[in-house]
Structure 1
Amino acid sequence: MTTDPNRLLAALHEAVAEVNLSLPPERQIATDPDAVLYGEGSPLDSLGLVNFVMAAEQHVGDATGLDIVLASEAAMSRKRSPYRSLRSLADYAAECAAGAQQA
């Protein structure tokens, strides 16, 4: 049960690999932690983001042993979106995991 951002980033890389299997080469998600995940310059449209976040929740849950929800009103209403890069999503996942452990 780890909430280490590096382990969470590795879990997100697993989600990227899974989702990239169904995407054409020009729409593949980059594995660079700071590459744009969603927004201007992203290969994902809104449906692609939903598919990725679902895969990410599964892989992060497997890595932490916790039921983590990455697609929430709290995430959507943040001034700086946690979906802007893999690194920001890993940081957000660590926050969610820490909160789930305290509950």
Structure 2
Amino acid sequence: MADRTGLRAEPSRTCVGCRGSDSWSALLRVVAATDGRDADQHGPIPIHPDPRHRMPGRGAWLHPSPDCFELAVRRKAFARALRLQAAVDVSAVARQLGVQHA
């Protein structure tokens, strides 16, 4: 969709951490690696960063900052945004952002 200047407008997404809106290119997409398995039997579902925005499946968007990451973890926003009923393992996203996460 073009704006009044004739340039194509970049889509915006909402950060699951701070709930602020930003262009999709400024946010990190994360996806759940469910692999068709039942999480209750196999522990937490791993959440993986998708910096190229190409991985299949439902995605959640996050500002690539430690503050937004911690807010999202504290609010349990990853599971809610990805529509998961089980616990999630965010260690791969923490490594991507350089955050120490317990």
TM-score (norm 2): 0.31
Higher relative contact order (CA 8 A, sep 6+): 1
- Which is richer in helix? 1
- Which is richer in strand? 2
TM-score (norm 1): 0.30
